[in-house]
Structure 1
Amino acid sequence: MNVDYIIVGFGLSGLSFVEQLEKNGKSFMVYEDSSQTSSRVAGGIYNPVVLKRFTLAWQASEQLRVAVSFYKDVEDKLCKKLVEDLPVLRRFNSVEEQNNWFESCGNLGLNEFLSSELVRSKNTAIDAPFHYGKVKHTGKIDINNMLFFYSEYLHKNNKIIKDSFDYDKIEVKEGLVCYKNIVSKHIVFTEGFGMKNNPFFNHLPLQGNKGEYIIIKSEALQLKEAIKSSVFIIPLGQDMYKVGATYNNEDKTSGKTLHAKEELQKKLERFLKVPYSVVDQVAGIRPTVKDRKPLIGTHTDYQNIHILNGLGSRGILIGPTVAKKLYDHIENGVLLDKDIDIKRFNILG
């Protein structure tokens, strides 16, 4: 079989690049073994503001415009409801935090996303004596269903193979990459934290950050918005909520931990004033990088081997933008931005 691209991995980065290929009429085959779960367990919120410090996330305005349009196109393609507007409220812990918020509202860039009106607390299920600030232009992507239905779409069109990838079976020839019975012009690795096992790119400084969420049920909570305090509370419907997440730079295992569950419950109970029950827990390792920028680019020694990785905790926003940048780099010779190009680490890759 001859294709234009082999894609290895199918999380947010893989889907983002595959959609670029689909839009441009390129042929491809995806290899996916579901070993990496960070995309599937993520909260799904798209939010351009770092709510701990009231600052704008990296290139957030540009990425938000691209991402919302991108996900609505995917929604239309799959004929599934995947995107919803969801208000995000930042719970204030003090008058000082209120003042910092309103000061930030006047900053260039942030004034587009931070509401200057104080949102007074009406829901007695949450202790919020200092009320809330509202982030504008936020929403939620149903990531798990998006990946599931897109994978089903690829399966129906014979464009995905659900199998582990064997790096030893790659043969690189001039202008071609051969893998088993597939001959391709390019191969793009979008493996998330699985990159640590990739002999072509495992020298890159992908650190990994484990995140865990608990899923709770509370009939009394009755939230219609996502609330950010010491943890996020994200409505899932039918009195279910996702609460998290933890950030653990040491634990690189994929399993759920009692310590994370207890940590999340302790933080939640500082301000939640109604009964709830924990009905599930999920965990995954975010593909994070020491400089908090993605890993995008082409291997130094092999001009048809590429990487799209390191999207971190804001993959929903970042993915569509950097996928297009990598596609334009490969197909049209467009130079990558220096802050995302893997060449910035001045080592092989």
Structure 2
Amino acid sequence: MTDCDFLLVGHGIAGATLADVLRARGHRVLVYDPGQANSASNVAAGLMNPVAGKRFALSWRAEELLPAAAAYYRALEQRYSQSFFTETPIFKIFGSPEEQNAVLARSADRPWGDFVASLTTTDPNLPGVHAPFGGAWLQHGGHVAVRELLAALAAEGHRAGWLRRESFDWTQVQFDSEGATYAGQVRSRHVICCEGAAAVRNPYFGWLPLTPNQGEVLDVECADLSPAQVLNRGAYVVPVGGGRFRVGATYRWPPFAPGITAVGREELAARLTVITDLPFAVVGQRAGVRPAVRDRRPLIGPHPTVPNLSFCGGYGSKGVMLAPRLATLLADWLVGEAEIWPEASVQRYNALQPAGVG
């Protein structure tokens, strides 16, 4: 019988960061993950953007989440002697005089002003960038090499034996007041579901308002496009080195076709032509399914009726920014040292649980 303190199901960005935080605190952790190359975390460009959307909306809790994420990823870089996090300016391109005026009206207010380094109402003449109405230079953001980061953590898990590349069978779990037993082989004090979009089929958490949302990204070569910043106008354009950029992302609600699509490729290519008139070549395309939540807030915390069972996920397209801080929050809660933020708690949806489920 294998004994552990916490059994986690899923090793995407949510599960990986939580497992890492728990292990760093001395807890015995066991993780099950089948290792899907097209998981949402492996496909993501890893953008950390403090301000997004046409309404110039400040990302939820950005002033707390961004510094925590940056510190965590830099610590991992030191640990593995690899580069994962690139802090870089984000240039949000204005698409019209009306958008220009709307952003100017909001940008001086706090906390927006903390993330706006400068504004320009004229073309900044960035190589290859079409920005006749100027744009906003955002600071304290950047991008994370999520695939490489998860691979480094997984390699450590394989070596140490705490990561098992296996599918998890929820029908083989038996819960009791002291913890849970899995398949008669593993005993754990607590089980945590970190399955991402797959949680919509989970027998204990399928009632949560998770909606799978498919996103596609392109990898393109565009040798003369400015690589000094992330570009954002209807799509993000993230420099990945060597004249290559990652362009994303589409949003497809069910029903959607599995895998990459010609429609997704055409949509993203069209968005890129709004940003640049330079020639580019598509050299790769990937698709993943995000775990989106109705109110665009994450879901962490305990199951309402099953003891020693919790959930961690629903991060949508903000996973790299949310995961480190929420991992420490949930780790603190698991040992009675913190309260889950109400706006992120599973408990806000407890009324949705059908009678007799879980």
**TM-score band, normalised by shorter chain:** over 0.9
For residues 342 and 271 of structure 1, the distance between their equivalents in structure 2, rounded to whole angstroms, comes to 39
Deviates more, 1:51-60 or 1:196-205: 51-60
Deviation at 1:174, TM superposition (A): 2.6
Q: Secondary structure at the match of 1:339?
A: helix
* Displacement after TM superposition at 1:73 (Å): 1.6
Q: Does 1:189 align with 2:193?
A: yes
SS in 2 for 1:43: coil
The equivalent of 2:323 in structure 1 is: 319
RMSD: 1.6
Superposed CA deviations along residues 3-34 of structure 1, whole A, max 9, x for unmatched, are 10111000110012112212210001110112
Q: In the alignment, which residue of structure 1 is the partner of 2:60?
A: 58
For structure 1, which segment, 215-224 or 247-256, has the greater mean C-alpha deviation from structure 2 after superposition?
Answer: 247-256
Alpha-carbon distance between aligned partners in 1 of 2:114 and 2:323, rounded to the nearest angstrom: 22
Q: Distance in 2 between matches of 1:51 and 1:204?
A: 26
Q: Which amino acid aligns with 2:106?
A: S
Hey, what's the Cα distance between the residues in 2 that align with 1:233 and 1:257? 19
Q: 1:76 aligns with which of 75, 78, 83?
A: 78
Q: 2:126 aligns with which of 123, 127, 133?
A: 123
1:168 aligned partner = 171
**Aligned with residue 116 of structure 2, among 103, 114, 117:** 114
Structure 2 residue corresponding to 1:134, chosen from 134, 137, 147: 137
Q: What's the offset of the Cα at 1:333?
A: 5.7
Trace 1:110-259 onto structure 2 (pairs within 5 A): 110-118=112-120, 120-180=123-183, 181-259=185-263
For residue 121 of structure 1, report the CA deviation from its aligned partner.
2.4
Q: Tell me the secondary structure at the aligned position of residue 133 of structure 1.
A: strand
1:347 matched residue in structure 2: 352
8 Å contact kept, 2:8–2:15: yes
Q: Give the equivalent residue in structure 2 for 1:47.
A: 49
Contact 1:105–1:116 (Cα < 8 Å) also in 2 = no
Contact 2:16–2:150 (8 Å) recurs in 1: yes
Kindly indicate whether residue 303 of structure 2 is the aligned counterpart of residue 302 of structure 1. Answer: no
Aligned equivalents of 2:251 and 2:166: distance in 1?
30
Q: CA deviation at 1:177?
A: 0.9
**How far off its partner does 1:84 sit?**
1.5
Answer yes or no: is the 8 Å Cα contact 1:113–1:136 preserved in 2. Answer: yes
Partner of 2:96: 94
Deviation at 1:96, TM superposition (A): 2.3
CA pair 339-6 structure 1, distance change in 2 beyond 3 A: same
CA separation in 2, counterparts of 1:343 and 1:146? Answer: 31
Amino acid at match of 2:303: H
**TM-superposed deviation, 1:270:** 2.7
In 2, Cα distance between equivalents of 1:148 and 1:271: 32
**Contact 2:43–2:288 (8 Å) recurs in 1:** yes
1:194 Cα deviation after fit:
0.8
Partner of 2:32: 31
Query: What TM-score do you get using the length of structure 2 for normalisation?
Result: 0.93
Q: Which residue of 2 aligns with 1:8?
A: 9
Using the TM superposition, give the Cα deviation of residue 189 of structure 1 relative to its aligned residue in structure 2, in angstroms: 0.8
User: What code does the residue aligned with 1:193 have?
Assistant: A
| 1:18 corresponds to 2:19 | yes
Q: Which residue of 2 aligns with 1:261?
A: 265
Paired residue secondary structure (2:266): helix
- Cα contact 1:205–1:290 (8 A) shared by 2: yes
Task: Tell me how far apart the structure 2 counterparts of residues 117 and 330 of structure 1 sit (CA, whole Å).
Answer: 43
SS at match of 1:262: helix
Per the TM alignment, residue 231 of structure 1 is displaced from its structure 2 partner at its CA by 1.3
Q: Which whole-Å CA distance do the structure 2 matches of 1:130 and 1:273 have between them?
A: 16
1:124 and 1:172 mapped to 2: Cα distance? Answer: 59
The 1-side partners of 2:207 and 2:239 are apart by 39
Q: Distance in 1 between matches of 2:265 and 2:153?
A: 31
Hey, what's the Cα distance between the residues in 1 that align with 2:340 and 2:61?
15
**How far is the alpha carbon of 1:125 from its aligned partner?**
1.8
Identical-residue share of aligned pairs (%): 29
Cα displacement (A) at 1:224: 1.8
In the TM superposition, residue 131 of structure 1 has moved relative to its aligned partner by 2.1
Measured in 2, the distance between the counterparts of 1:155 and 1:56 equals: 39
Gaps of 5+ in 2: none
Structure 2: distance between partners of 1:133 and 1:251:
36
Match of 2:285 among 281, 285, 292: 281
Deviations 1:183-205 (A, max 9, x none): 11011110100101210101111
